[in-house]
Homo-oligomer: A and B are copies of this chain.
Amino acid sequence: MSITSFTPPIRTLMGPGPSDIHPRVLAALSRPTLGHLDPEFIRMMDEMKQLLQYAFMTKNAMTIPISAPGSAGMECCFANLVEHGDKVMVCNNGVFGTRMLENVERCGGVPVVVEDAWGSPVELQKVEDALKAHPDTRIVAFVHAETATGARSDAQGIAALAKQRGALVIADTVTSLGGVALRVDEWGLDAVYSGSQKCLSCTPGLSPVTFGPAAVEKIKGRAKKVQSWFLDQTLVMGYWGSGQAKRAYHHTAPINALYGLHEALVMLQEEGLEAAWARHARNHGALKAGLEAMGLELPVALEARLPQLNVVRIPEGIEDAPVRTALLNEYSLEIGAGLGAGAGKVWRIGLMGHASQKKNVVLCLTALESVLGRMGASINPGVAVKAALQVYES
């Protein structure tokens, strides 16, 4: 065996995440490593909490990045909040709702499922009816921005219904944080997790989470220990918590990965949260105009469409994989395949974080038009980029 250093090609990442990473974030990753109890590192941890509070629009003290990917952030919320026998309502309209159900089951909760079609948002009436039928529901969980389908649900509306019935709210904001409006405190979301690699444009591997007062109270009142030692927030906060004379070692924090997230969040603060949302909306508008001018269809209803994740129907007679392979080989451009029920039927074009910029919109339209044309798709040639540019000029 003789394996040499790995030199990755330079891609443009317009899939469902990871998104393109800004060079400032990549540079931060390679800064000198500190010990996880170094006073300078602890200072950075305090800044990190403030930066995450800004991004989540929350004052929650328990606002930290979990030292593992978004799926672990999801598990962290369920493992800490769900106790054996708790009735947990899961709004399921895609891959990540199904994953939530897996978590409820493995935590010993009793699931109640509110089903909506893939590509549709969660229907509030169904949630209201289900809560009426199950007044002993302890927790309502939903996905704000379904990465599998590109649909956005009404987080504020779902949370309001849950509150009326005294249930806690768990929200998956993996794909929404930094890309569309998300107001944790104003909307009353009790436990929220996200990912570093979507609209924050950091490398994958960290999961920002925030727990509000009602969630903290439920965790502290548990009859049994959290089943995961690694994700037990009562222990994790001994290291991340502030106001303590001394931080206790829990696990060794992923120092350099946290440098990257810190830098990505500093950049979000520099741009401004609202400005970042507006940028995602603007570039989405241009891409959408171009795709529709070309004759492609965006199946998600207009009012539920995520600007950062554009689901496009694969045209009649065109195969999925050869198109994506051609984009990768000829343009070093990654777009996403469909996931679950969408596999082979749709593509997922991400415009997340640093990837959400004009040059990526025109590159994607140009490359897609060229490849689809060559493969014999029935599209309108020569109009897509023009339609996109008109949006920027209007």
Query: In the assembly, what is the distance between CA of A38 and CA of B11, in Å?
Result: 10
Is B1 a contact partner of A50 (Cβ separation < 8 A)? yes
Residues of B within 8 A of A205 (CB): 67, 205, 252-257
Is A71 a contact partner of B204 (Cβ separation < 8 A)? no
- Asked whether A119 is an interface residue with its Cβ less than 8 Å from the other chain, the reply is no
Stretch at the interface among A19-27, A298-306, A359-367: A19-27
Query: In the assembly, what is the distance between CA of A355 and CA of B205, in Å?
Result: 26
Contact residues of A between 14 and 55, Cβ < 8 Å to B: 15, 17-18, 20-21, 24, 26-41, 44, 47, 50-51, 54
- Listed from nearest, the 8 A-B pairs whose CB atoms lie closest are A205-B254, A68-B68, A71-B251, A30-B30, A26-B30, A29-B29, A203-B256, A204-B252
Chain A 252-284 near chain B by CB (<8 Å), digits 1 or 0:
111111011011011001000000000000000
Enumerate chain A interface residues (CB-CB to B < 8 A). 1-11, 13, 15, 17-18, 20-21, 24, 26-41, 44, 47, 50-51, 54, 67-72, 74-75, 79, 99, 102-103, 105-107, 195, 197, 203-205, 225-230, 249-257, 259-260, 262-263, 265-266, 269, 328, 334, 337, 339
Query: In the assembly, what is the distance between CA of A4 and CA of B267, in Å?
Result: 9
Residues of B within 8 A of A265 (CB): 3
Is B6 a contact partner of A36 (Cβ separation < 8 A)? no
Q: How many copies does the complex hold?
A: 2
Can you name 9 A-B pairs with beta carbons within 8 Å? A3-B266, A4-B266, A8-B259, A18-B33, A29-B29, A39-B328, A69-B253, A71-B230, A72-B72
Residues of B within 8 A of A2 (CB): 269
Residue in chain B with minimal CB distance to A23: B30
CB distance from A196 to the nearest CB of B (A): 9
Is B32 a contact partner of A252 (Cβ separation < 8 A)? no
Is A24 a contact partner of B3 (Cβ separation < 8 A)? no
Query: In the assembly, what is the distance between CA of A38 and CA of B6, in Å?
Result: 14
Is B229 a contact partner of A99 (Cβ separation < 8 A)? yes
Query: In the assembly, what is the distance between CA of A334 and CA of B257, in Å?
Result: 20
Listed residue (A4, A74, A205) with the most chain B CB atoms within 10 angstroms of its CB: A205
Residues of B within 8 A of A21 (CB): 32-33
Residues of B within 8 A of A334 (CB): 35, 38
**Cβ-neighbour of A50 out of B3, B79, B249 (below 8 A):** B3
Residues of B within 8 A of A227 (CB): 106-107, 227-228
